Structure 1
């Protein structure tokens, strides 16, 4: 991003200074857009971090424009510090996007390390070495940013791979700038670097900034859409799937003879609410959801159907395995103690299960058969598991 405008051919459609200022203004617009997007969704804190990083780069652009006109040690140190800080914050934003953790430790590490390496030579008057190190360190920070997005590519492969590639391309342009300066071998320049690599880097920065901005905003919109979809399909109290989500997963496909549906119902739950209060009842439901979802296989699913009723769908299983799984849940829940304001509480659960058929049975019918087995288990004394085939 460091390139003087003086001495450029007048026949060029745009000199370097004009392009540099164009980067500054477009980056400022991107920063405002990111900040506005964050204001609309305060939970996406990475947008604020990213907006700050772009804003720091904007300040660096205009500081560097001043350095081009009047080279000086203090202004040179300031421009290096701003660019490296901006890219360190950008790396932190990528990490925050992927992990939802605080970016501050990574920002401090990136800025602190790059400052320790690049600023002393510039402060001592070795501006050529300072710019060389700045470009190399900027490339490392950008490659790190690309790697963070690459690691999170499973969330939205097309968008995140595109963002990672554009950050990598930008990083490569800084590597090129550092290599050209190293090839010249001048430790002292007395002015901003001036070579073809700087021109190419600026063009790449302009193009990449546009692409990264568009892809990242589209990525954030997609994340919001997925978040709303998850909310619509998740039971707010227990965090399990809700009835609608369970039917979306299994309601349309026929249930085979190797798929079991298990229905659970907490015993005496109304009495728990009446005696211990609804807060205690909610805690009981959360504890059971925890027990129910423990040790699930990847192809299995569990949901809260409503009230104190839950369901489990076991794929590729046998009757004895399905019964053992339901029995494990029953026994584990019976052994748990739920702490309430009025004292400890022990609860039990009843369950019934049914299988599909070799020619395929509707999910509704299998669920209804499991319900019948559940009611038979309730009539038989509760705190037990019953197979539909033995419920009659």
Structure 2
């Protein structure tokens, strides 16, 4: 036995309610992805619209008609805002305001003045436009997860097409005044498509979000929380598996007298010094270079396709720039210097650990020689 329109409508409502709860629960577990909350709100608005529309079917009237149109267009406008927020990480509010403002101005007056047939035509056409816009936002952001996001975009487009079909059937009938909810084969087909698309969109989008979470946790595991640089583990992951050749340099930096800074000015001041040095160290890097905080006040830089004089000049630039910086702290302005040592791999290839150890020896030779200087391992004695 085939389901009637009301049963399909209620199925949409309950499916949307389940999706909204799932999205809200997922957002609670990962509050950095605010688009999930926006999307959950949009689906919740659609749920309310479904039950308002069910009431309108039973008791047609201008007030319920306007409310139904307003809720659907608001829900789809918020959905468009959520997609834009997903892609850009910007506030969805301007786009939501634009979507609701334009669609309300076009669709609500006819319904309010009794031209419900025209109102439903415009509602379906404008809903389709909002859904196509949502599909386009996901299409533009597809680089993050091509298969999943192309699927999401296609499903939103399919749903939009079903609304276009509903508008076309109403336009073909040509009735500006209906006196009741639209009832035709296109409406039934649209509900079936909405149920199927909602399930697919929810599953694909949640899979994309799980991927985002995994990448976020990976970044956290590889990043030093204070400076934002790579940490020791990440640097070894990048360079520890391959032999270091004769044109790759490892430079190790260590802040001079850092313990005295912590003791005299406090750890907050010490943290500020570390952040400023990380900023200096990261400036003017090539795409092939990498820098990391190894722990405490020790940092490392790996320079590929370079020569000894270039590596020394790079380390010297960092040393001089940091020595010239005045670090503003809560305890007052202060200056600090840094010492550095560097070493190269070999034509046969050396392990990263050995090159790092050689650079460390050069660093401590620079410390013994008076600090605030750069020393080549070959000259470290």
- Measured in 1, the distance between the counterparts of 2:143 and 2:318 equals 32
- Measured in 2, the distance between the counterparts of 1:262 and 1:114 equals 60
Measured against aligned partners, the alpha-carbon deviations of 1:335-367 in whole angstroms (never above 9, x if no partner) come to 111112332111111112222223322111111
Question: Against the structure 1 CA distance between its residues 161 and 328, is the aligned structure 2 distance closer, same or farther, given a 3 Å change threshold?
Answer: farther
Measured against aligned partners, the alpha-carbon deviations of 1:269-300 in whole angstroms (never above 9, x if no partner) come to 11211222211111000000111112222232
Measured against aligned partners, the alpha-carbon deviations of 1:87-142 in whole angstroms (never above 9, x if no partner) come to 11112222233333332222222111211111111112222221222122112221
Question: Against the structure 1 CA distance between its residues 288 and 146, is the aligned structure 2 distance closer, same or farther, given a 3 Å change threshold?
Answer: same
Alignment of 1:257-296 (within 5 A): 257-296=246-285
Question: Against the structure 1 CA distance between its residues 320 and 177, is the aligned structure 2 distance closer, same or farther, given a 3 Å change threshold?
Answer: farther
**Residue 319 of structure 2 contacts residue 339 of structure 2 at CA under 8 Å; is this kept in 1?**
yes
Moved more, 193-202 or 69-78: 193-202
Q: How high is the TM-score relative to the length of structure 2?
A: 0.94
Equivalent position SS for 2:244: coil
- Measured in 2, the distance between the counterparts of 1:74 and 1:18 equals 24
- Give the deviation of 1:54 after TM superposition: 0.8
- Measured in 1, the distance between the counterparts of 2:303 and 2:157 equals 44
Question: Against the structure 1 CA distance between its residues 260 and 157, is the aligned structure 2 distance closer, same or farther, given a 3 Å change threshold?
Answer: farther
Question: Against the structure 1 CA distance between its residues 129 and 312, is the aligned structure 2 distance closer, same or farther, given a 3 Å change threshold?
Answer: same
- Measured in 2, the distance between the counterparts of 1:357 and 1:137 equals 66
**Residue 127 of structure 2 contacts residue 163 of structure 2 at CA under 8 Å; is this kept in 1?**
yes
Structure 2: segments with no counterpart, 5+ residues: none
- Measured in 2, the distance between the counterparts of 1:125 and 1:250 equals 72
**Residue 142 of structure 2 contacts residue 149 of structure 2 at CA under 8 Å; is this kept in 1?**
yes
Moved more, 46-55 or 314-323: 314-323
Aligned residues: 381
Moved more, 305-314 or 161-170: 161-170
Equivalent position SS for 2:334: strand
- Measured in 2, the distance between the counterparts of 1:265 and 1:318 equals 22
Question: Against the structure 1 CA distance between its residues 380 and 166, is the aligned structure 2 distance closer, same or farther, given a 3 Å change threshold?
Answer: same
Question: Against the structure 1 CA distance between its residues 168 and 367, is the aligned structure 2 distance closer, same or farther, given a 3 Å change threshold?
Answer: same
- Give the deviation of 1:181 after TM superposition: 2.9
Question: Against the structure 1 CA distance between its residues 147 and 359, is the aligned structure 2 distance closer, same or farther, given a 3 Å change threshold?
Answer: farther
Equivalent position SS for 1:125: coil
Question: Against the structure 1 CA distance between its residues 197 and 324, is the aligned structure 2 distance closer, same or farther, given a 3 Å change threshold?
Answer: farther
User: Is 1:334 equivalent to 2:339 in the alignment?
Assistant: no
- Measured in 1, the distance between the counterparts of 2:168 and 2:367 equals 77
Measured against aligned partners, the alpha-carbon deviations of 1:128-157 in whole angstroms (never above 9, x if no partner) come to 221222122112221222222233333333
* RMSD between superposed Cα atoms in Å: 1.9
Measured against aligned partners, the alpha-carbon deviations of 1:300-328 in whole angstroms (never above 9, x if no partner) come to 22110001000111223333332222222
Equivalent position SS for 1:154: helix
- Give the deviation of 1:387 after TM superposition: 2.3
Moved more, 220-229 or 297-306: 220-229
- Measured in 2, the distance between the counterparts of 1:188 and 1:296 equals 67
Equivalent position SS for 1:344: strand
- Measured in 2, the distance between the counterparts of 1:106 and 1:365 equals 55
- Measured in 2, the distance between the counterparts of 1:304 and 1:215 equals 37
Measured against aligned partners, the alpha-carbon deviations of 1:37-91 in whole angstroms (never above 9, x if no partner) come to 2333344332222111111101111111222223222111111100001111112
- Measured in 2, the distance between the counterparts of 1:116 and 1:83 equals 14
Structure 1: segments with no counterpart, 5+ residues: 1-11
